[in-house]
Amino acid sequence: MAISRTLPNPAVFPAIGGALRQQLAQATHLQTQAKFMPLPRRIGVIGNHLPRQCGIATFTTDLCDALEAEYGFARILAVPVTDANSSYDYPSRVQFELAEADASSFDRAKDFLNQRCADVVCLQHEFGIFGGVAGDNILPLLRDLRMPVVTTLHTVLREPDADQRRVMQEIADRSARLVVMSRHSCRLLQDVFAVPAHKIDMIHHGVPDLPFADPKSYKSGLGMEDKSVILSFGLLSPNKGVENIIAALPKILLQHRDVELWVVGATHPHLMRREGDKYRQQLQELARNLGVAAHVKFHHQFVSPEDMASFIGAADLYITPYRHEAQVSSGTLAYALGAGKAIISTPYWHAAELLADGRGALVPFQSPDAIATTAIELLGNDTLLQAMRKRAYSYGRAMVWKNVARQYMRSFQWARGEQLSMRPDDLVAAAC
């Protein structure tokens, strides 16, 4: 959920110095004013967009859909980035395309958004999608926009290089609000990039509003009624660590012979262009060498929302064995949690936060034995598995797209209030 913007009542803090009490009172007053800001009617959204196949495109499309569904009056002006040598059949909300390899298109996009009088721009930021050095093609566009910018940060680096720091610093300076998807990211923004807490909103990655259902109700449609399904899904690349699930299968199958692993998702397009489907082929070879190939099914496709719901719904266990700690968001993990799945994960930053308090099971990085031991325990103890599922599903209710759209709209209102000088830069606000 979004971080609370309710500030303490200065009257109940007599020990606080007069200057700080005055700031708190002013912040409370301006926050109240911001609630009455008119909702934006034209929202520019910069980022990738389906049918481009990537996580940012899926997120941006889902966010646009959710805003339109919740606020029927709002007009979305989507401005996606089209990668080099590609073209896409975008929906009607896309009226201007940024060309990743053409810096001049970013200047034209600025004119487009200004002329269309967007009330606010929501930027979906990832270093690798905008072109230039560390994605700095986006910076000239931001410098000349007339409306406030709310930036969603899909990556927040703990150890940025000089160019990444330069780009992130300017984006932070030129954004009225910065949205992150975890409290860890909130702390990194403050500690690494010196972003003041009052500019940061923590809004979870949105998830579909799926029912809490028995996997059997989904398995029947897939012809898997007699199987225990372990699922890994998302764009495939080596940093996902899927080989560690396959390596865990021989031990799991000694206790649960009906287990089948589904690896769902197309190979990441950037990886496919560089080296083809080499990683998937390596996974298939590993399964053959371990004698578990009959228990591993690869669904080499970029899944639609409908298919995604079916795959997630049918899973008894969802496993996300990412290899590196510095992962600040995972859409697939959020989807699985929102659907009330029993989840096993390595303790990368987003997983450690989302799966706390028994909402999932964390295992060490690069440890097939730990994956196997935990999977065996959960599959053999339905009471434990169902309790984990219920905790995950309950937590995920605040993350459904309807609620996320409302939180973004509040952030847009706050950004517009800031543009009208409703609060100075040095206001004290709630910490992350």
Q: Is the pLDDT of residue 422 over 80?
A: no
Q: Is the pLDDT of residue 25 over 70?
A: no
Render pLDDT for 379-405 as a digit per residue (tens, 0 to 9).
Answer: 999 999 999 999 999 999 999 999 999
Q: What is the mean pLDDT of residues 333-355?
A: 96
Question: Higher-confidence residue: 308 or 156?
Answer: 156
Question: Higher-confidence residue: 348 or 301?
Answer: 348
pLDDT, position 22: 53
Domain 216-399 CATH superfamily: Glycogen Phosphorylase B; (3.40.50.2000)
Residue 29 banded pLDDT, cuts 50, 70, 90: low
Q: Is the pLDDT of residue 271 over 90?
A: no
pLDDT, position 419: 67
Q: Is the pLDDT of residue 180 over 90?
A: yes
Render pLDDT for 170-179 as a digit per residue (tens, 0 to 9).
Answer: 999 999 999 9
Give the architecture-level CATH label for domain 10-206+400-419: 3-Layer(aba) Sandwich (3.40)
Residue 423 banded pLDDT, cuts 50, 70, 90: very low
Residue 248 banded pLDDT, cuts 50, 70, 90: very high
Give domain limits for the chain: 10-206+400-419, 216-399
Q: What is the mean pLDDT of residues 147-176?
A: 96
Average of per-residue pLDDT values in the chain? 88
Same fold, 10-206+400-419 and 216-399: yes
Render pLDDT for 363-376 as a digit per residue (tens, 0 to 9).
Answer: 999 999 999 999 99
Distance spanning both ends of the chain, measured CA to CA: 12
The contacts of residue 414 (CB under 8 Å, 6+ apart) are 5, 34, 37, 176, 177, 201
pLDDT, position 35: 63
Task: Flag the least confident range among 16-20, 132-136, 190-194, 197-201.
Answer: 16-20
pLDDT, position 424: 42
Q: Is the pLDDT of residue 90 over 50?
A: yes
Q: What is the mean pLDDT of residues 38-49?
A: 93
Question: Higher-confidence residue: 23 or 242?
Answer: 242
Residue 33 banded pLDDT, cuts 50, 70, 90: low
Q: Is the pLDDT of residue 6 over 60?
A: no
Phi/psi of residue 232, each to 5°?
A: -130, 125
Q: Is the pLDDT of residue 290 over 50?
A: yes
Output the pTM of the full model: 0.86
pLDDT, position 270: 74
Render pLDDT for 188-234 as a digit per residue (tens, 0 to 9).
Answer: 999 999 999 999 999 999 999 999 999 998 887 777 788 999 999 88
pLDDT, position 103: 87
pLDDT, position 159: 94
